[in-house]
């Protein structure tokens, strides 16, 4: 009979508890990353989309970054739930599946601690377990067929001993399966951890990119919409030649004007309001003038 059967139940509970604690770590990691994603995505000003300059590349970049952020959140949730979902482990898996090579090595290094006297490794334990079940089945058949009651009583006593041995094997099997389940969960978590961090990084990069594109495009669009803004205009040498004659002989650069149309980089349509210049509208480009807005709305 296996030694230490009375403590096996506690050992199984300990291994199961370790698996539960590891799942708690997965839950905490998933919750942290999910909260980070929700926080970052929640700060994205969707109302600012109405102010975005309507260009194909702007909306394409916004869509790509938004997809990256949302995809990162979805991946973290999917990967975490796959770790939390319980998996079925059988003794056949422990004996032959490559996922449990480490378990087989561990058991073989300390067979007494994991198997008691039932074997020196997983393979020999399962062979002894199968033999005990065959003996029990054979005794059951002999009891049914034996006509002599004295022999039947002897067989029943033998059966009671075999049942006790099989129950001991069952407890050892439970311990072995608990170790295997913890090993599988631990291995899966270690493999998934870099991927979880990658998902969180995708959320951060996607949200940051989205906010950057949104802010830049909104700023450019706002500047394009800002018409009739007071400005000081300084002509370049090229501007002096092309625009200077239109402003009158007393006009000196820089002069006052209102910006009627044009973005940050020009070209601009100006309404000249400087009292020393000839009033009227002129058009200048970035190489003809430097336009300094007096204030912004």
Instruction: Please give the pLDDT value at position 2.
Output: 42
Residue 104 C-alpha from the chain's centroid: 32
Q: Of 223, 248, 283, at which residue does a domain stop?
A: 223
Instruction: Please give the pLDDT value at position 297.
Output: 42
The residue range of the domain holding 232 is 226-293
Whether residue 74 is found in the same domain as residue 173: yes
Whether residue 94 is found in the same domain as residue 184: yes
Whether residue 17 is found in the same domain as residue 130: yes
Whether residue 19 is found in the same domain as residue 138: yes
Burial 235-253 (b: 16+ CB within 10 A, else e): bbeebeebbbeebeeebeb
Average pLDDT of span 122-149: 91
Q: Of 179, 207, 223, at which residue does a domain stop?
A: 223
Q: Of 181, 200, 223, at which residue does a domain stop?
A: 223
Q: What is the pLDDT of residues 245-267, one digit of tens each?
A: 888 888 888 888 888 877 777 78
Give, to the nearest 10 degrees, the angle between helix 101-109 and helix 122-145: 80
More confident residue, 43 or 158: 158
Whether residue 147 is found in the same domain as residue 236: no
How many domains does the structure of the chain reveal?
2
Whether residue 52 is found in the same domain as residue 37: yes
Whether residue 265 is found in the same domain as residue 165: no
Whether residue 237 is found in the same domain as residue 201: no
Whether residue 275 is found in the same domain as residue 192: no
pLDDT of 132 higher than 80: yes
Whether residue 34 is found in the same domain as residue 168: yes
Whether residue 55 is found in the same domain as residue 11: yes
Whether residue 196 is found in the same domain as residue 247: no
Q: What is the pLDDT of residues 80-110, one digit of tens each?
A: 777 777 677 888 888 988 888 999 999 999 9
| Sheet of 255-261, strands arranged across | 280-284, 268-272, 255-261, 229-235, 289-293
pLDDT of 134 higher than 90: yes
């Amino acid at each position: 009979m296996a030694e230490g059967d009375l403590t096996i139940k506690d050992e199984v509970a300990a291994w199961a508890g370790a698996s539960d604690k590891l799942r708690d770590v997965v839950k905490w990691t998933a919750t942290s990353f999910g909260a980070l994603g929700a926080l970052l995505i929640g700060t994205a000003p969707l109302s600012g989309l109405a102010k975005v300059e309507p260009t194909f590349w702007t909306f394409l970049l916004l869509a790509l970054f938004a997809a990256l952020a949302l995809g990162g959140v979805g991946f973290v949730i999917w990967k975490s739930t796959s770790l939390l979902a319980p998996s079925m482990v059988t003794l056949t898996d422990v004996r032959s599946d490559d996922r449990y090579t480490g378990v087989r090595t561990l058991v073989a290094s300390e067979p007494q601690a994991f198997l008691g006297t039932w074997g020196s490794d997983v393979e020999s334990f399962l062979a002894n377990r199968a033999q005990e079940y065959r003996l029990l089945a054979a005794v059951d058949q002999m009891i049914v067929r034996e006509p002599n009651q004295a022999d039947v009583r002897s067989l029943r006593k033998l059966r009671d001993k075999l049942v006790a041995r099989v129950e001991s094997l069952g407890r050892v099997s439970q311990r072995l399966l608990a170790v295997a389940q913890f090993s599988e969960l631990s291995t899966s978590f270690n493999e998934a951890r870099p991927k979880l961090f990658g998902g969180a990084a995708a959320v951060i990069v996607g949200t940051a990119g989205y906010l950057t594109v949104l802010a830049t495009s909104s700023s450019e669009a706002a500047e394009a919409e800002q018409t009739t803004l007071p400005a000081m205009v300084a002509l370049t040498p090229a501007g002096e030649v092309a625009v200077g004659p239109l402003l009158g002989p007393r006009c000196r650069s820089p002069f006052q004007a209102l910006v009627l149309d044009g973005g940050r980089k020009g070209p601009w349509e100006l309404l000249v309001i400087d009292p020393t210049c000839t009033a009227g509208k002129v058009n200048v480009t970035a190489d003809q003038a430097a336009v300094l807005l007096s204030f912004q709305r």
